[in-house]
Amino acid sequence: MQKKILLTICYNGAAYCGYQVQPNGVTVQEMLNKAAEALFGYPCDVVGCSRTDSGVHARGFCATVTKKGECFLQTSIPAVRIPRAMNAHLPEDISVLSAEEVPLDFHARYGVESKEYEYLIYNGRERNPFFEGRAWHIPTPIDGAALAAMQAAAAHFVGKQDFSAFRAVGADTAPKDAVRHVMSATVTRKGDLISFRVRADGFLYNMVRIMVGTLAAVAAGRMTPEDVLRVLREKDRTKAGSTAPACGLYLDRVTYRN
Amino acid sequence: MQKKILLTICYNGAAYCGYQVQPNGVTVQEMLNKAAEALFGYPCDVVGCSRTDSGVHARGFCATVTKKGECFLQTSIPAVRIPRAMNAHLPEDISVLSAEEVPLDFHARYGVESKEYEYLIYNGRERNPFFEGRAWHIPTPIDGAALAAMQAAAAHFVGKQDFSAFRAVGADTAPKDAVRHVMSATVTRKGDLISFRVRADGFLYNMVRIMVGTLAAVAAGRMTPEDVLRVLREKDRTKAGSTAPACGLYLDRVTYRN
């Protein structure tokens, strides 16, 4: 009956101050902790794979649920029934998509092998009700050449390198090591929607959003793809683009070691 | 300075009692009339290509804007500037995407050559915050064979035929003639999202939603694709499937004669 459960969670982050519990605002973790307590009958800890910022979304966020202060859950509810049972206690903007049993020593955060984010840019001239709060609206048309420049710039993100220039300054929890391994970084377009997908073994604070702000600078002709290489080498945050808004960012997929 | 302007409009219909002005509820047309009046400085009529039901969405709804009681607009604002100017007076869930000048005798409704709707079914097991109010959630898995049956059934909708079985009963404004020409009707799947697209020279009241309810009955094995042929022939509404919910329906595209 002692088991550890890994949840895959989808949420629209618009109404939340990010994932992690904090004193000054409602967070996704707080809602999940409450739903788990309502379901299992005792205080629970829903430990996430990552912190996400205020307003950031997730389609495949991973988190373990355990009894508070323990590394396990005491329950006879089969894993397959947990999603619907937890969803009965969650608001419409958070949904547990699936649940599976994992070893008791599994850690949702330290066991992460890679994370994949998608960032959506809506490039229609006028605002679109269906992308309101779900994409960054850049009304200036991005033509084929500008898109190709974004693609060339994104390719420079790939590799194991120092991303100091793509980390928010003053992040008090910043780890000293800014080397990350970006496995893929691609820009595609479908109609008015431009998608930036990036997968890495880890991300620095605001890293994806600064990457996107930089790609937007490339699209606007204020930077060249080669400038991105230079910025990476110089490791100076002020040389990279601005931080793109949170509403376009989606944590899409998490993989674990083993 | 006398001109008639055709608008292309996108709206999330969740908050509205359909398109057309009515006494008991806020409609999309009412919001557009008010925005046009605020912009042009006199009462306006925004005449739509179609009525849409409460909760139905549109990505490419067409409507003309004229001075109330006249067939023209008196303005020096160039058409290209109208979308942004009107959007300044519209809520977030309605957006004018584009505007163009049309002849004074152009009629947004009677001039329609064809309309294309998309209906979205979300087929994930658990609810998804991003499709809440934007797709019909059918949690029972629709497998490859069931999808193929939906596709075969949809093919039977194509052609110039009598759709009496696919019209809401008791629709007091129902025209006697129930013959419509369906040019295309296709079902495709991408991940958990199933899309039904249908284009026709006109649609009866609730026609697309009854088609989708029927396709859902086929997916569930309660009807066969051949049953759809029989239902069309028998012209009996009670033999077709139920009316699918409004939230999955999008008016996507309108074409005009000439």
Residues in chain B: 258
B129 to A94: CB separation less than 8 angstroms, yes or no = yes
Our CA-based measurement puts residue B57 at a distance from the nearest CA of chain A, in whole angstroms, of 10
pLDDT band (50, 70, 90) for residue A174 = low
Please say whether the beta carbons of A76 and A214 come within 8 A: no
Q: Which two tokens stand for residue B150?
A: 């939906």
Average pLDDT for chain A: 95
Please say whether the beta carbons of A80 and A101 come within 8 A: no
DSSP A201: S
- Separation CA A178–CA A183 (nearest Å): 16
* Residue among A21, A121, A92 at smallest CA distance from A63: A21
Q: Which two tokens stand for residue A249?
A: 């960012």
| Mean pLDDT, residues B235-251 | 95
pLDDT band (50, 70, 90) for residue A169 = confident
**What pLDDT score does A175 carry?**
62
B10 to A128: CB separation less than 8 angstroms, yes or no = yes
A97 to B132: CB separation less than 8 angstroms, yes or no = no
In the block, tokens 């519990």 appear at A21
B132 to A11: CB separation less than 8 angstroms, yes or no = no
Residue B203, pLDDT above cutoff 80: yes
% of chain A beyond a pLDDT of 70: 98
ipTM of the complex as predicted:
0.92
**What pLDDT score does B174 carry?**
57
User: Which chain B residue has its CA at the smallest distance from A9's CA?
Assistant: B128
% of chain B beyond a pLDDT of 70: 98
| Mean pLDDT, residues A88-94 | 97
| Mean pLDDT, residues B98-123 | 97
Cα B210 from chain centre: 13
- Separation CA B135–CA B122 (nearest Å): 6
| Mean pLDDT, residues A183-193 | 98
Q: Is A78 exposed, middle or buried (0-12, 13-18, 19+ CB in 10 A)?
A: exposed
**What pLDDT score does B173 carry?**
57
Task: Choose the closest CB to A128 out of B84, B95, B126.
Answer: B95
Task: Choose the closest CB to A12 out of B92, B96, B130.
Answer: B130
**Which residue of A31, A84, A89, A95 to mutate against B (max B Cβ within 10 Å)?**
A95
Average pLDDT for chain B: 95
Over residues A113-145, the pLDDT tens digits come to 999 999 999 999 999 999 999 999 999 999 999
* Residue among B109, B139, B108 at smallest CA distance from B122: B139
A130 to B96: CB separation less than 8 angstroms, yes or no = no
- Rounded to a whole number of angstroms, the distance between the first and last alpha carbons of chain A is 23
Residues in chain A: 258
CA distances from A92 to A25, B41, B228 (A): 18, 41, 35
% of chain B beyond a pLDDT of 90: 93
Task: Choose the closest CB to A129 out of B95, B124, B132.
Answer: B95
pLDDT band (50, 70, 90) for residue B176 = confident
| Mean pLDDT, residues A35-54 | 96
SS3 label, residue A17 = coil
Q: Answer yes or no: pTM beyond 0.90.
A: yes
Helix (H) or strand (E) holding B57: strand B57-67
| Mean pLDDT, residues B9-16 | 97
The string of DSSP letters for B61-77 reads EEEEEEETTSSSEE--S
Choice among A154-158, A234-238, B137-141, B193-197 with the minimum mean pLDDT: A234-238
Measured between beta carbons, the chain B residues lying within 8 angstroms of A130 are 10, 12, 57, 59, 134
pLDDT band (50, 70, 90) for residue A176 = confident
A128 to B93: CB separation less than 8 angstroms, yes or no = no
Calculated CA dihedral for residues B128, B56, B61, B205, nearest 10 degrees: 140
Measured between beta carbons, the chain B residues lying within 8 angstroms of A96 are 126
Measured between beta carbons, the chain B residues lying within 8 angstroms of A10 are 128-130
**Which residue of B126, B192, B253 to mutate against A (max A Cβ within 10 Å)?**
B126
Residue B24, pLDDT above cutoff 90: no
Choice among B79-88, B162-171, B235-244, B246-255 with the minimum mean pLDDT: B162-171
Our CA-based measurement puts residue A157 at a distance from the nearest CA of chain B, in whole angstroms, of 28
**What pLDDT score does A173 carry?**
57
